[in-house]
Amino acid sequence: MTDENSLIDRIIAGEQQLYAELINRYKGYAFTIALKILQNRPEAEEAAQDAFIKAFQSLAKFNREAKFSTWLYRIAFNTAISYKRKSKNIFQSIEDVHAGQHQEGEGKVEHDDKKRFIEQALSRLSDADRLAVNLFYLQEFSLEEIADITGMQANTVKVRVHRARQRLAEELKSILQKEALTL
């Protein structure tokens, strides 16, 4: 924490190149947060990059009482939400199509189908619910941290995670029923 604070001080003082260290440290989570909201890799990457630039711009205003990571993830969350509002177009990236094609034909069709159905059910959740559930299951975040990132109360996060799980189960059930009918 102290190391991080001194690093931030040096960046603010003008050692701009040190910011790369912070990017490398947190890019995975920032990108994952954006991806869970946008559900599109190129867009998520752009949003995550934008979040890091915004964080750099506001670095001097960063309140040291909070964790830098939580503050950054909040920026990533808000940036991803605004990206989603800007472009409501849902498109599947070429990368994702390729990934799907590679997985098929490996004798894992059933497993992949289930995964696809769960992802479909997840996409029906609200952005905040989907992110809260994903962050919670990543085991790295406490309810308080998830609350800070998403701008909710910790108790609300707890209720949301619980309800989102139930809703996911219901959605999955209805998807599976529809699939069974089309067979």
Partner 1 sequence: MNEENEELRKFTDKPGGENDELGAIDRYLKSVRIEQPSANFTQHVMSNLHRASAAALGLPSRNKMLMLAGILVTIGIAILLLAGGAFESVTTITVDQEILPNNQIREYIPTIPFNGKLVINIVILMNLALAFMILDRAVLKPWFERRRHA
By the criterion CB under 8 A, which residues form the site for partner 1?
A: 12, 16-17, 19-20, 23-24, 27-29, 31-32, 35, 44-45, 48-49, 52-54, 56-57, 59-60, 114-115, 118, 121, 133-134, 136-139, 142-144, 154-155, 158, 161-162, 165-166, 168-170, 172-173, 176
- Listing DSSP states for 36-82 in one string gives HHH--HHHHHHHHHHHHHHHHHTGGG--TTS-HHHHHHHHHHHHHHH
CB of 59 to partner 1, least distance (A): 8
Tokens representing 168 are: 């996911």
Least separation in angstroms between CB 20 and partner 1: 5
To partner 1, the closest distance from the beta carbon of 57 in angstroms equals 5
In angstroms, what CA-CA distances link 29 with 10, 52, 173, 178? Answer: 23, 12, 30, 34
Whichever of 36 and 74 has its CB closer to partner 1, that residue is: 36
Task: Give the shortest CB-31-to-partner 1 separation in angstroms.
Answer: 4
